[in-house]
Amino acid sequence: GITRTGGNTAIPADGMVFSFGSKAFANNDAGLRRLTNGRQEIRFEIRIVSPDKDDIFKFAESEDIVAGVPLLIRDGKINITWEQEKASRAFAENRHPRTAIAKMRDERILLITVDGRQPGVSHGMTLRELAEFLISLGAVDAMNLDGGGSTTMFVDGKVVNTPSDAGGERKVSDAIIVT
């Protein structure tokens, strides 16, 4: 069936969302035939579009992509874009566990986690506090990544931070892996 409700991400009037569960096409192609209405081929074009509707780039032209909201630092200046990216004020201004990636002045890449929501361990950071901290370390560009209970740093075979979810590490759909 078609679900017409969901989260708070804006979908353009001429756009749509395809979402498939893990068993959507298991052991037969009936689901795929229904989706394609019997056609042999269906094509998807995925684009990332800026808030002013300009194409930023196409996925096919990208080597690696990871989800993140919002931009924190651009060209050495704090440039937190939470409003343009439709994040909530509470997300931006309350202290939460955070994960971020930054390009440093010397071209190195920094991956950082900030624990939070754990009295006696850490309260977390606001987006501004995170951006200011990254600037103090020498960041020139930075992006906030999936944080909250997803904030986990795994190094040399073990978790090196204190995830805030009561059950420990959260199952996530994206990660940055450095080998």
* Between 17 and 167, the higher pLDDT residue: 167
DSSP assignments along 135-165, one per residue: HHHTEEEEEEES-GGG---EETTEE-S--SS
Which tens digits make up the pLDDT trace of 127-178?
A: 999 999 999 999 999 999 999 999 999 999 999 999 999 888 898 878 898 9
- Which candidate, 32, 147, 62, places its Cα nearest to that of 101? 147
What domain range includes position 92?
Answer: 68-159
Please list the residues that pair with 105 across neighbouring strands: none
pLDDT of residue 41: 67
Residue 11 located in a structural domain: no
The domain total for the chain is: 1
With beta carbons less than 8 A apart as the criterion, state whether 155 and 102 touch: no
Query: For the residues 72-94, what does the mean pLDDT come to?
Result: 95
Which tens digits make up the pLDDT trace of 110-132?
A: 999 999 999 999 999 999 999 99
Residue 175 located in a structural domain: no
Residue 31 located in a structural domain: no
Largest CA distance in the chain: 59
CB-neighbour burial class of residue 132 (10 A; exposed 0-12, middle 13-18, buried 19+): middle
Cα torsion angle, 13, 24, 45, 80, sign: positive
Residue 131 located in a structural domain: yes
Give the span between the Cα atoms of 102 and 171, in whole angstroms.
Answer: 24
Number of Cβ atoms within 10 Å of the Cβ of 150: 20
Residue 119 located in a structural domain: yes
Residue 168 located in a structural domain: no
Give the span between the Cα atoms of 11 and 22, in whole angstroms.
Answer: 23
Residue 46 located in a structural domain: no
Average pLDDT, the chain: 83
pLDDT of residue 108: 97
What is the DSSP code (8-state) at residue 29? S
Residue 172 located in a structural domain: no
Lowest mean pLDDT among 5-14, 65-74, 155-164: 5-14
